[in-house]
Amino acid sequence: MHKDSFQPYFPTMEEATIGSILLSVLALSALEIVLGIDNVIFISIIAEKLPASQRDKARKTGLLLALGARIILLLGVKLILDLKDDLFSIGNFHFSGRDLILLGGGVFLIYKTGKEIWEKISTSAHELKIGAIKESYAQVIIQIVIIDIVFSFDSILTAVGLTKNVGIMIAAVIVAMAVMWFFSKTISDFVAKYPGIKMLALFFLVAIGVLLIGEGFRLHVEKAYVYFAMVFSLAVELLNIQARKAAAKKALQGD
């Protein structure tokens, strides 16, 4: 959709029925939830750098900041679309403000998750335990804000492609964030409990970072492929967890 043809608006009751509005909000909310999974996972992992007493506060603050970022971007959606204009080119590659934001976000995400993966595979369990708390609350929140802006930017561009109704987009974002707020602690606890799940989540974030860099170079790859691979790998890991539990139970019964 070209930016000149996009005119965001808030409809009157004469322009849309309650049923059609609710259906649009629900459909867009479901999409926003899917697109927000990577954001929730990143927040959950980065919050582990804090003392246990601050982690829940950091997760909730991160989600509130993500909600605020999305609403602000929606209210300035025309300015966001202006960021799609080319600023400069290098060889056959052209770069706009949007491209630079996605490139920067992708590099940042790969750096942070890659660093986390390296720590997991190169540090002993004892060292991990005593060195788990490495960053201040302010440092964690700053990192959450950076990734919130990048993910929000990507999310809003997707929403713009589906509707011109700013009211519906804002309502959908609020509904999606409410759902993620409710499940964020459960997701965080689950990821932290199982090392295999956490490593899988980290590689998922690396893949999202690669996709963001690709988008920055205007090489589009459907996120559905990454999500499918993630769901498949998660299913395999859950089966492995159940198999290990069953083996442990048999071993105890044998003793």
Q: Which residues contact 184 (CB under 8 A, 6 or more apart)?
A: 40, 43, 44, 59, 60, 63
Name the phi and psi angles at 96, rounded to 5: -110, 180
Q: Are 79 and 162 in contact (CB under 8 A)?
A: no
Residue 112 in 3-state DSSP?
A: helix
Residue 2: what pLDDT? 46
- Residue 202 CA to residue 38 CA, distance in Å, equals 10
- Residue 23 CA to residue 155 CA, distance in Å, equals 19
Four-CA torsion 168, 173, 179, 181, nearest 10 degrees: -150
Instruction: Scan for tokens 């070209």, then name that residue.
Output: 2
- Residue 134 CA to residue 130 CA, distance in Å, equals 10
Residue 172: what pLDDT? 85
Q: Is the pTM of this model over 0.85?
A: no
- 88 membership: H or E segment, kind and range: strand 86-90
Q: Which residues contact 159 (CB under 8 A, 6 or more apart)?
A: 28, 31, 32, 74, 169, 172, 173
Q: Which two structure tokens, joined as six digits, stand for 26? A: 């629900």
Strand partners, 86: 96
Burial of 105 (0-12, 13-18, 19+ CB in 10 A): buried
Residue 8: what pLDDT? 53
Q: Which one, of 63, 28, 44, 41, lies nearest residue 173 by Cα? A: 28
Q: Are 163 and 21 in contact (CB under 8 A)?
A: no
Residue 168 in 3-state DSSP?
A: helix
SS3 track for 25-65:
HHHHHHHHHHHHHHHHHHHHHHHCCCCHHHHHHHHHHHHHH
Residue 15: what pLDDT? 52
Positions of the chain with pLDDT lower than 70, given as ranges: 1-17, 81, 123-134, 160-163, 254-255
